[in-house]
Amino acid sequence: MRNFLTLCFAILSGLYSLACTSAIISGALTRDGRPILWKNRDTSHLVNYVAITEATDSTHAYVALYNSQDTIAAEAWIGYNDAGFAIMNIASYNLNHPADNWKDREGFLMTKALAYCTTVDDFQILLKSLPKPLGVEANFGVIDAYGNGGFFETDDLNFTFYPLDNQNRIIIRTNFSVSGGDGGLGYVRYDNACHLLAPHIDNSDISPELLTDSLSRSFYYSPDSSDKSTEEIVLDKDFIPRHSTSASIAIEGVNSPDETNQMVMWTLMGYPPCGITQPVTLDSLPDNLIADDLGGCKASRDNLLLKEKVFYKKGRQWFIKMPELQHISNRNKTKSLNNYQRFRTNKK
């Protein structure tokens, strides 16, 4: 029955565009001892950009990812602020659904959280204090500079909190909520992520580049325990990277409020196997990630051009020309890892 349901979820989530794969990792399991918040973002909004919002007398400065159509940066989809608070969302499909006339409010909520929250507790207070219904159905992942973190599985009226702690040093989420019971989507991607992370959990050596440039480039498929990356033509099914992926982002947190200037948002814009990861901080934003007059950012549009070379469509299904894709991915992974090394060397 488990295998049957997994295959059913694979088919459903392959047809649904609003899907993500994510994890929050305690510093106890990371190579550098710092917590990480990671989101492989799937969306119908394939062209994105990154923007920095300056602090005011009452709000934090923050950096976040936005859809190209959101020219006023009103709806953040992952980001962090100058207090060391970071947040992301993962759409859930087994909580109470919001009404059609008041839904998809997750980005507005996260913008408010980045502006006003310092800690995980602050976010909990925000959820309790905001007018209801919230217009959301999502797993909100958060970390702060005090070593706290967790997922808030949240619907219009209620939430259930799953904290990072000694028993749960890593929490993986796709498009279902544990508190929601049966249903939801993303079970295959969940199993994919668990399998790929397992040896690194055992070795406590998880790093941002493992997430952005290994998991988000992986074509491991858990239902048959196979790696499709060596095949010629591959159906784009429920891999972690999907045709609908717009970015893979890993926010590297800190362990003290005195270290918040060391936070970095490692940003791979676009379909991850075709992309290059770049460091983003509150003081430094690469030019090709900034919104421009053409819509979204250059890195996102350039990625789409590469993706068009390796995908083709038959009916409603997308297929990947895997040898061509692997050539692009291996070349750009090398560039990503060089960016990681260069940034860390310059920080020393």
Q: Output phi, psi for 152, to 5 deg.
A: -105, 105
pTM of the model: 0.94
Taking the domains of the chain in order of start, what are their residue ranges? 2-347
Contacts by residues 279-283 (CB-CB < 8 Å, ≥ 24 positions apart): 279/339, 279/340, 279/343, 280/50, 280/63, 281/63, 282/52, 282/61, 282/62, 282/63, 282/82
CA separation for the pair 176, 259 (Å, rounded)? 34
Q: What would the pLDDT profile of 263-274 be if each residue is shown by its tens digit? A: 999 999 999 999
Q: What is the pLDDT of residue 2?
A: 38
Residue 239 CB partners (closer than 8 Å, separation 6+): 189, 192, 218, 219, 220, 221, 228
* Residue position matching structure tokens 């991850």: 272
What is the CATH code for 2-347?
Answer: 3.60.60.10
* Residue position matching structure tokens 């005011």: 56
pLDDT in tens, the chain (348 residues): 334 333 343 333 333 446 899 999 999 999 999 999 999 999 999 999 999 999 999 999 999 999 999 999 999 999 999 999 999 999 999 999 999 999 999 999 999 999 999 999 999 999 999 999 999 999 999 999 999 999 999 999 999 999 999 999 999 999 999 999 999 999 999 999 999 999 999 999 999 999 999 999 999 999 999 999 999 999 999 999 999 999 999 999 999 999 999 999 999 999 999 999 999 999 999 999 999 999 999 999 999 999 999 999 999 999 999 999 999 999 999 999 999 999 999 987
